[in-house]
Amino acid sequence: MNNSVPHIPIGRLLRSTTVGFTFGCSVPEPEVPLFGDFVKAPAQHGQSEVIGLISDILIEDDPFVRQLIAAPDLPEAYIQDQRKNRQVPIEVSVLTIGYRRNNAVFQELPPQPPMTLDYIQRCEPEEIATFTGSHDYFALIINTPDTSADELLPAALQRAAKARPADERRFFMLQAGKELARLLANDLPRLNTLLRRIQVIP
């Protein structure tokens, strides 16, 4: 594993468990972080990398922000002050879907969660394509008690499809649909909803 500081960290870890972790970041850029993004965090002193999906983005408020909400015609400078200068916490929740160790990918819960203040990075397209080469991680998403699971899986699959060449995307989604049909054979309404949402987006 590479122990050096990642090139484009998007935040630092606040807290973690084996099944997921939360990181904090400054004001979101238009492209990061996004719901359904694949992210990674170092674990086991850099011996492994935990891989997860961004499952929620929480922008906290405080009394100062609340009183500004009611202000009429709020000039942009006040908004920029609140967004850029004040340390308004933005919390990003991640659902763990596997880990990587010694260049091998495991689609199961990691032996250890990442540590506080570790850098969080967005996964590169090649890493996403490699990780999503099999679909065992679907179970970790589908079985999560979080109600947004049925939103998260289609979003993740769209990211995974885009990480592949255009001529491979349709086949990738077809295989994903077959795996879902196997996992949700006893829950046809849910399967129907998910299948409708994993169409290939050009």
Partner 1 sequence: MALELNKLTDQVSGMGETLAARSTELAARLPQAQAALKSMVDDDPILQRKIERALSFHWAGAIPTNEPVHARFPCPAHPERANIIAADGSQLYPNRHGIALYYLINTGSIIFPHGIDDAPTCASEPHLFYKNDDMYMGEHLIQGNLVDSQRDLAELRELARLTATEGESVPTLAMVDNGLLLYLGLHSSNQRRSDEILRDYLRALSEIHTTGAAICGVIDRPRAANVLRLLHVAELDKNDFQAEDLRQLGDYAQLTDRMLFESLQPGERSALFINASPENMEKYMPRGHKIMFFYVNTGSIDQPGILRVELPEWVAIQPQQLELVHAGVVEQARFGSGFPYVLMRAHELAVVTWKQRGQLEQMVAGSMLRSGVSPIISRKAQGKKWTDGG
Q: Cβ 67 to partner 1, closest distance in Å?
A: 5
76 binds partner 1 (CB under 8 A): yes
69 binds partner 1 (CB under 8 A): no
191 binds partner 1 (CB under 8 A): no
Comparing CA positions, the residue from 173, 174, 147, 149 lying closest to residue 161 is 173
Helix axes 166-183, 149-162, angle to 10 degrees: 150
With CB under 8 A as the contact rule, the residue among 8, 71, 104, 185 that binds partner 1 is 71
60 binds partner 1 (CB under 8 A): no
Residue 143 sits at φ, ψ, to 5 deg, of -85, 0
5 binds partner 1 (CB under 8 A): no
Encoding tokens for residue 71? 């202000």
89 binds partner 1 (CB under 8 A): no
With CB under 8 A as the contact rule, the residue among 15, 86, 170, 178 that binds partner 1 is 86
DSSP 76: H
Q: Does residue 33 have a cis peptide bond before it, meaning omega lies within 30 degrees of 0?
A: yes
59 binds partner 1 (CB under 8 A): no
Residue 92 is inside which H or E element, if any? strand 90-101
Q: Which residues bind partner 1 (CB under 8 A)?
A: 64, 67-68, 71, 74-78, 80-81, 83-86
